[in-house]
Amino acid sequence: MGAAELGARRLKELVAEYGTETIRTAIEYSIRLTRRRVREDIAAWPDGVYEADSHVEHDTIGNKDIRVHCKATVHGDQLTVDYSGSDEREFLTTNGTFGNTQGMVLSQLGTMLDPSIPKNEGLFEAFDLVVPEGTCINPERTRPVSAGTHHPGVEVSEALALALSQAIPERCQPQVYKIAIPTVIFGANPRTGEFFVDQSVDTTSTCASASSTGDGWGGTPTAFGNLILATAEINESLLPHRQLSRDLMTDSGGAGMFRGQPGARYVKEVTAPCQVYTWVLGTKYPCPGIAGGMPGSPSHLVLRGNSEHEYEVEHTAFYVEHQPGELIVNEFAGGGGWGDPLDRAPEKVLDDVLDEYISVEGAMRDYGVVVEGDLEELDMWVDFDRTAQLRTEMREERNRSGNGTS
């Protein structure tokens, strides 16, 4: 609201200084400029028809494998993004409105264009978007859509990025995350006697995939926008829990020439009787790799940890009672890798081993890099001769099996 009010005030100031006609002309020029420059950018992409799928593995009542299908057609300076073939089942509990779908397409496409192009109405006009009514991403009015801003919203972005990665892989990084809803904890706070809700969005680290210019990193994926997450210290002072662990997990970031962000293992101990409500994704369809990169690790959520009633959540948990001392263990998905892992600089792999983002075994298995030495002493090095030999053998085996990566 503050940003909108500031924008309105500044627009009035511009009109007062330059006049309505000048301002209108400038706006129309900017829109035309964006439309023209987007089409010029698209004209440099290789012509073709590129298709990909993204899936929500289950909705909140257990419907499985909700499909979002994207076909991107490039012809000259014309781009058509067509989501025909996306799931049309009537009783899905996760659907996204057309407006949300359009926004996810624009936000993903905007990351794949020359960043100097102004973002305005001209972007809407520079390509054709087809989203058939009745699909899970443009549903009939009677269907539930509250979950759609997340899922199948981010699947819209992912499918578009995967489709166009076949044409312009150097520009593709899915703007997604694999969380569903947070692990919501609620009950009576023994310090105040009042009802509390802990949405568990404190210091989340998950799902930032790599790009063609660098490793996936940062506290959250870009899909979280400008959301500021509370720190562990603040939430522990306000809510009845203890945060026992917030560790990045070894070998959880998707391998690639650029590595995906490692997933985070998050352990929270509740200190008061409470209930937990959640919906978990990323367990079957983790963040995908691009241009030969490997997917990140999947998500796992364990409730009632440290008790005989411990169990892993398959898709949802409704009002699961917890007692003081029981744990919530959430392993957040890792980001996908970009590019062939065998092209990653061995020195970078060594750095990742020293930082414990990659194990010695993972360096050899996923990257073909032989690391020797003692991790505890931080005295490690790359055996370049054995690395070169191993990578040659891995490429030859890949070619024999028909899984070659250029």
Q: Is the peptide bond before 221 cis (omega within 30 degrees of 0)?
A: no
Give the pLDDT confidence score for residue 406 in this predicted structure.
44
Give the pLDDT confidence score for residue 273 in this predicted structure.
97
Task: Tell me the percentage of the chain whose pLDDT exceeds 90.
Answer: 79
pLDDT surpasses 60 at 219: no
CA–CA separation, 357 vs 129, rounded Å?
A: 40
Strand pairing report for 311-312 and 371-374: unpaired
**Cβ-Cβ contacts under 8 Å for 394 (sequence gap 6 or more):** 342, 368
CA distances from 53 to 33, 296, 381 (A): 33, 17, 41
Where residue 177 falls among pLDDT bands split at 50, 70, 90?
confident
pLDDT surpasses 60 at 9: yes
| Three-state secondary structure call for residue 127 | coil
CA–CA separation, 307 vs 270, rounded Å?
A: 12
pLDDT surpasses 80 at 39: yes
Work out the average pLDDT over 338-363.
97
Give the pLDDT confidence score for residue 150 in this predicted structure.
85
Give the pLDDT confidence score for residue 323 in this predicted structure.
96
Work out the average pLDDT over 20-45.
96
pTM of the model: 0.90
Strand partners, 276: 185, 320
Give the pLDDT confidence score for residue 174 in this predicted structure.
84
Domain ranges (residues) in the chain: 1-172, 176-339, 343-400
Give the pLDDT confidence score for residue 18 in this predicted structure.
97
CA–CA separation, 78 vs 72, rounded Å?
A: 10
* Residue 147 or residue 64, greater confidence: 64
Cβ–Cβ under 8 Å, residues 152 and 66? yes
Q: What is the pLDDT of residues 299-315, one digit of tens each?
A: 999 999 999 999 999 88
Cβ-based burial of 357 (10 A; exposed 0-12, middle 13-18, buried ≥19): buried
What is residue 38's DSSP assignment?
H
CA–CA separation, 167 vs 91, rounded Å?
A: 35
Give the pLDDT confidence score for residue 205 in this predicted structure.
67
pLDDT surpasses 90 at 175: no
Cβ–Cβ under 8 Å, residues 262 and 235? no
